């Protein structure tokens, strides 16, 4: 993390399913990386998502936009406290006094939040939008 501290992430069942699907594709060269990069022993580049969006010709999307979508969804459609959503994004508290007293990471509350986010993401879109499955776009 760019913040230089550990960030535990509660994985939803669909997120775990993705990891289980990828597991057979990993080899000894992957090392400890869940998403190994093209270079042996290195992680997937921080530019990989951006390059995928370019190949998909989706100049209207940004990698940071995915995080922003999550934050908007949490604020506008759920009752989760803002600090739970902010913790899910690994944002630090701006108030130094509050940060000094907050010792926990809201892990169990974030677990529920991420399960609800996964359920939202898996819902079928009922609008007239055109949806291209990512496997077809690559």
Mean pLDDT, range 69-91, rounded to an integer: 93
pLDDT at 110: 95
Can you tell me the distance from the alpha carbon of 87 to that of 108, in angstroms, rounded to the nearest whole number? 11
Task: Flag the least confident range among 20-29, 34-43, 118-127.
Answer: 20-29
102 has pLDDT over 80: no
pLDDT at 100: 63
Sign of the CA dihedral with 91 first, then 58, 44, and 119 last:
positive
Confidence band for 99, pLDDT divided at 50, 70 and 90 = low
Q: Are 80 and 74 within 8 A, CB to CB?
A: yes
Q: Which is higher by pLDDT, 81 or 44?
A: 81
pLDDT at 116: 96
Share of the chain above pLDDT 90, in %: 43
∠58-137-17 over CA atoms, to 5°? 110
Confidence band for 26, pLDDT divided at 50, 70 and 90 = confident
Enumerate the domain spans of the chain: 11-45, 60-124
């Amino acid at each position: 993390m760019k913040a230089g501290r550990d960030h535990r992430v509660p994985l939803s069942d669909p997120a775990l399913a993705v990891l289980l699907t990828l597991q057979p594709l990993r080899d000894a060269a992957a090392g400890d990386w869940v998403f190994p990069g093209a270079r042996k022993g290195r992680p997937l580049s921080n530019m990989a998502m951006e390059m995928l969006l370019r190949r998909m010709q989706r100049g209207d999307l940004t990698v940071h936009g995915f995080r922003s979508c999550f934050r908007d969804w949490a604020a506008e459609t759920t009752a989760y406290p803002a600090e739970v959503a902010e913790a899910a994004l690994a944002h630090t508290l701006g108030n130094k006094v509050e940060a000094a007293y907050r010792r926990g990471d809201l892990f169990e509350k974030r677990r529920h939040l991420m399960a609800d986010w996964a359920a939202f993401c898996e819902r079928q879109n009922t609008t007239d939008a055109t949806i291209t499955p990512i496997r077809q776009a690559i």
